[in-house]
Structure 1
Amino acid sequence: MISILIAASVGLGVSILLTPYLIRFFSKQGFGQEIREEGPEGHKSKRGTPTMGGVAIIVAMVVGYFAAHLVDYWRGVSGDGPTASALLVLFLSVGLGLVGFIDDFIKIRKQRNLGLNKTAKLVGQLVVAVAFAIMVLQFPDANGLTPASQHLSYARDIELIFFPLPIFILFCYLLVSAWSNAVNFTDGLDGLAGGAGAMVLATYVVISFWQGRLSCVEAFQPACYNVRDPLDLAVVAAAATGACIGFLWWNAAPAKIFMGDTGSLALGGLVAGLSMTTRTELLAIVIGGLFVVEMISVVLQIAVFRTTRKRLFRMAPFHHHFELAGWAETTVIIRFWLLAATCCMFGLGLFYSEQLGLGGG
């Protein structure tokens, strides 16, 4: 528990102190956000706001995680240091953040709201996701548990569906691409993705900690959680939660900096990685329900327009629909945060009820 608190505190401190420095630096370099012409009229005033603030989230998350382990070392706490599961989740998040950084940088250099083309962006996500998929099935612990499993799971490593290796790699890519793009779609209003991301990550702190307390002495016991390194995953999630909250201090409306694709892709990678390493791929759909709804709104908008030449929503993603309906931006943000919090609480309730159903308590 102390490691979790340290990770969250350091992540918060680094993020809240580093972000204003990035604001000044990016402003001097002219690294300002470009706004798409077809966007809401009220967003035109945001043009030139520094972007790529996701750098602060990534740095704070990594520093928070390793700071917690350094403190454990100084305290003489027994343990094996950083674990395979946590390092792989960090690899996935940082790797996708790098893809987003390149995308943001191209936007800035070309002074337009289009960075990497769709193919290049998908290739970048593919390389990171495939590397993660291959490595995440390695590094078994003493009980033979690897960081992730080839079973599709709700809240445990049970055989809902078993994926052969090629299908697992494809599944991993689709999961990583879906979550990173879902968070990216949500990042359209000041603080919306950052606040919702902090809630989802905080939920995973609770889930991972719970799994650690109820982990199996021997692998594959039915009433416990077969997860490798759950407590260390809680440390990663806590560091990222603190980083998001610290960044949100400067990103809340009116935003002084945007996270950009650097932050949104990194956060999406975190959700995907945590869902796989905690064996909660299906439950994550509920926990990250806001992100799912935002992504579905874009898919539906495209599908309906291509078949009927009419728009289902005034504008997609979904949050812009309400802006054009007359809601103030802050009203949309707060109400969507409430939706995100409701999804997280409902997901935790499902997780708890699943444990009760198997005789836990």
Structure 2
Amino acid sequence: MLAILFGGGLALLVSLLGTRVAINLFTRLGYGQEIREDGPTTHHTKRGTPTMGGVVVIIATLIGYLGAKVLDSIRLGDVALPSASAWLLLLAFVGMGLVGFLDDFIKVFKQRNLGLRSKAKMIGQTVIAVTFGALALSPWLEDENGRRPASEKVSFLREIDWLALPTVLAVVLVWFFLTGFSNAVNITDGLDGLAAGASVLVFGAYTLLNIFQNQNFCQSDPSPACYNVRDPLDLAIIAAAIGGALIGFLWWNASPAQIFMGDTGSLALGGALAALAVLTRTELLLVILGGLFVLVTMSVMVQVTCFKVTKRFTGVGRRVFRMTPIHHHFEMLGWEQVTIVIRFWIICGLFVAVGIGLFYADWVALGGAG
């Protein structure tokens, strides 16, 4: 527990101080955000605001996790090496962040709103997701008890025993979650502090879930309610470090934002959330915990589908919302950005509360409270 608190606190401090340095550096280098021309006109004043702040979040997380491992090594009197699950989570986090960084760098270097082409971005995300999935399901990374970082069984609150997939399909499912949620967080990152604040809540939830899984670990407490997760404590440390780094970043990203996380941050956060879901055997639960990201993404899908269908059959494309993602719809209705962000945070908090409640209820139902 001490390592979790230390990792999260250190990441917060590094991010809080490091983001101020990044703002000065990126401003001096001219790494400013380009704004979509068809977006709300109120966003045009944000053109030139430093971007790629996700770099600080990633670095702060790595420092926080490393600091926690050093602390553990001192406490235990032995070197506490990162677990296989930790390496995989960091692979998804940093790997997706690297794809986002390339996208951001092209935007600021060429001074345009378009970075990587959609196909190139998807190829990069696919390489990271498939590599993560193949390694997580590999027998090479089994621990002494035969546990792999990920399972071929589809999971909700825990593994669903009767829903096992062939390895190839399991990798496809992992790919779907990693690419889907990295893009979902990216789509949600459209207002000052929206994606960062919502992500804090979901990473906080995963920190609690991992602590609970560690306390009810099958290796130390075999029972129908125990959790067959490979490295829950290490996962909790990283989730806490990411959450802490986001809180420090949010100090500067809250409205009016002095820096944006860019695709570097949003793709990294989405990839890390999906990786946590896979590694903790809670894949479908992420759809609830990250329900806000799902809703925002669905608004875009509904808008595009409705426009194409109506245009094909009537000749005139019709829209459901004034603008998507849906937070821009409320902007077009005259809502203040701060109002939208806070209300979306509340919605995200409700999703998180429902998800944690279901997780705990499942444990109680299986006799965990007895």
Tell me the equivalent position of 1:355.
Answer: 363
Distance 2:208 2:344 in 1: 22
SS where residue 245 of structure 1 aligns? helix
Matches within 5 A, 1:55-94: 55-76=55-76, 80-94=80-94
Q: Specify the code of the residue in structure 1 equivalent to 2:172.
A: L
SS where residue 258 of structure 1 aligns? coil
Matches within 5 A, 1:105-144: 105-138=105-138, 139-144=141-146
CA contact (8 A) 1:153 1:160 kept: no
Per the normalisation by structure 2, the TM-score is 0.95
Relative to structure 1, is the Cα distance of residues 4 and 306 closer, same or farther in structure 2, using a 3 angstrom cutoff? Answer: same
CA contact (8 A) 2:52 2:101 kept: yes
CA contact (8 A) 2:217 2:229 kept: yes
Tell me the equivalent position of 1:298.
Answer: 300
Matches within 5 A, 1:219-298: 221-298=223-300
Tell me the equivalent position of 1:25.
Answer: 25
CA contact (8 A) 1:313 1:321 kept: yes
Distance 2:251 2:240 in 1: 17
CA contact (8 A) 1:143 1:219 kept: no
CA contact (8 A) 2:72 2:80 kept: no
Distance 1:220 1:85 in 2: 21
CA contact (8 A) 2:96 2:268 kept: yes
Distance 1:89 1:219 in 2: 25
Q: Specify the code of the residue in structure 2 equivalent to 1:271.
A: L
CA contact (8 A) 2:69 2:80 kept: no
RMSD over equivalenced CA pairs, Å: 1.3
Q: Tell me the CA shift for residue 76 of structure 1.
A: 2.4
Q: Specify the code of the residue in structure 1 equivalent to 2:301.
A: V
1:256-286 deviation line (CA, Å, top 9, x unaligned): 0000000000000110000000000011110
Matches within 5 A, 1:298-317: 298-308=300-310, 309-317=317-325
Q: Tell me the CA shift for residue 162 of structure 1.
A: 1.4
Q: Tell me the CA shift for residue 167 of structure 1.
A: 1.0
Q: Tell me the CA shift for residue 212 of structure 1.
A: 0.3
1:145-180 deviation line (CA, Å, top 9, x unaligned): 111101110121232421212111211111111100
Per the normalisation by structure 1, the TM-score is 0.98
Tell me the equivalent position of 1:326.
Answer: 334
CA contact (8 A) 2:4 2:236 kept: yes
Matches within 5 A, 1:142-181: 142-181=144-183
CA contact (8 A) 1:219 1:226 kept: no
CA contact (8 A) 1:157 1:225 kept: no
1:341 aligns with 2:349: yes
CA contact (8 A) 1:150 1:165 kept: yes
CA contact (8 A) 2:104 2:262 kept: yes
Distance 1:134 1:45 in 2: 44
Q: Specify the code of the residue in structure 2 equivalent to 1:318.
A: I
Relative to structure 1, is the Cα distance of residues 317 and 75 closer, same or farther in structure 2, using a 3 angstrom cutoff? Answer: same
Q: Specify the code of the residue in structure 2 equivalent to 1:24.
A: N
Q: Tell me the CA shift for residue 218 of structure 1.
A: 7.2
Distance 1:162 1:175 in 2: 17
How many residue pairs are counted as aligned between the two chains?
A: 361
Distance 2:42 2:257 in 1: 13
Distance 2:346 2:281 in 1: 26
Distance 2:101 2:129 in 1: 17
CA contact (8 A) 1:9 1:239 kept: yes
Distance 2:281 2:4 in 1: 20
1:296-353 deviation line (CA, Å, top 9, x unaligned): 1111111001111111111110110101011000000000000111111111001000
Q: Specify the code of the residue in structure 1 equivalent to 2:201.
A: M
Tell me the equivalent position of 1:212.
Answer: 214
SS where residue 161 of structure 2 aligns? coil
1:39-78 deviation line (CA, Å, top 9, x unaligned): 0010000000000000011001111011000011122266
Q: Tell me the CA shift for residue 137 of structure 1.
A: 1.5
